[in-house]
């Protein structure tokens, strides 16, 4: 029988690659998915050589509504059982809501909300039948704070993942399945290069940043404890606590003032469709 595999989305870089490395170091077989097949294959070769685990690569774009079904069916076709799901794939869309065409937002919602939700729906029945499973939904500290202008749907999508994970955890705990929403703050990765905010964030204090590896280790520790929501790092937990104490109006005013340090809020018109 094939060993159970962990499915990691957005595995080609950043937190996703760190999840893959940590799982491989723990001896877990893997299914890696992302758009860049060459990056996936390079990581897979590294993990096979370093840890002797089976690593399968399935390249796809989660912006395609057919991708979640394709992923699950391809894993089943290869005879792979998924006992761990890491919904990590994600990115940010710069600018204000009306500065981008609807197609851009539709792709974002598909990747950030619909795809992880569908993957949970498709893979949970098997986990329940086996009486064991783990799901990590990579959310963000942004989902727990007031949302600044710019990147309009980002914090909203992360807040959705947090609430979704809470309900999912309560529904599935009696079936031996643990669910955790991981909420990192600023993490060293390609995230800000891809969304065009690198110049904004590069001057931010180093104490606000974490490496991806300790963020991932916190996620596994949280799963083992049964934590449903885990904010990574003491600094980020302090930030969350600070904003929780503020009146809503003051918190929103403060995040509006500081949001310009890390959010691109270009309000130029959307390009023609």
Q: Which of 91, 154, 160, 188 is catalytic?
A: 154
CB neighbour burial string for 66-101, b if at least 16 within 10 angstroms, e if fewer: ebbeebbeebeeeebbbbbbbbbbbbbbbbbeebbe
Q: Answer yes or no: are the C-beta atoms of 228 and 181 closer than 8 Å.
A: yes
User: In this structure, what DSSP letter does residue 141 have?
Assistant: G
Active site residue 154: yes
HSE-CB at 241 with a 13 A cutoff on CA atoms is: 8
- Continuous H helices in 110-225: 115-130, 154-172, 191-194, 198-201, 212-225
Yes or no: say if 58 and 31 are a contact pair by the CB < 8 Å rule. Answer: yes
Longest Cα separation, the chain: 57
Q: Which residues are catalytic?
A: 154
């Amino acid at each position: 029988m094939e060993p159970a595999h962990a499915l990691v989305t957005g595995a080609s870089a950043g937190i996703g690659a760190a999840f893959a490395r940590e799982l491989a170091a723990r001896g877990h077989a893997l299914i890696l998915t992302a758009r860049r097949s060459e990056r996936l294959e390079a990581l897979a070769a590294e993990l096979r050589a370093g840890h002797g685990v089976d690593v399968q690569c399935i390249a796809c774009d989660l912006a395609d509504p057919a991708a979640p079904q394709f992923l699950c069916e391809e894993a089943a076709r290869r005879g792979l059982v998924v006992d761990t799901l890491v919904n990590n794939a994600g990115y940010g869309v710069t600018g204000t809501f009306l500065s981008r065409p609807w197609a851009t937002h539709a792709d974002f919602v598909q990747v950030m909300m619909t795809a992880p939700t569908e993957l949970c729906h498709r893979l949970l029945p098997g986990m329940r039948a086996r009486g064991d499973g783990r799901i990590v939904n990579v959310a963000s500290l942004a989902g727990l704070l007031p949302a600044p202008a710019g990147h309009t749907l980002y914090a909203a999508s992360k807040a959705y993942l947090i609430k979704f994970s809470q309900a999912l955890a309560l529904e599935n705990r009696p079936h031996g399945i643990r669910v955790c929403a991981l909420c990192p703050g600023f993490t060293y990765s390609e995230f800000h290069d891809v969304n065009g905010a690198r110049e904004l964030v590069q001057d931010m204090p180093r104490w606000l940043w974490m490496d991806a590896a300790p963020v991932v280790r916190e996620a596994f520790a949280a799963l083992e404890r049964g934590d449903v929501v885990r904010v990574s790092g003491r600094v980020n937990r302090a930030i969350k606590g600070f904003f929780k104490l503020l009146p809503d109006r003051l918190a929103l005013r403060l995040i509006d003032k500081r949001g310009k340090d890390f959010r691109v809020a270009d309000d130029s018109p959307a390009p023609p469709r």
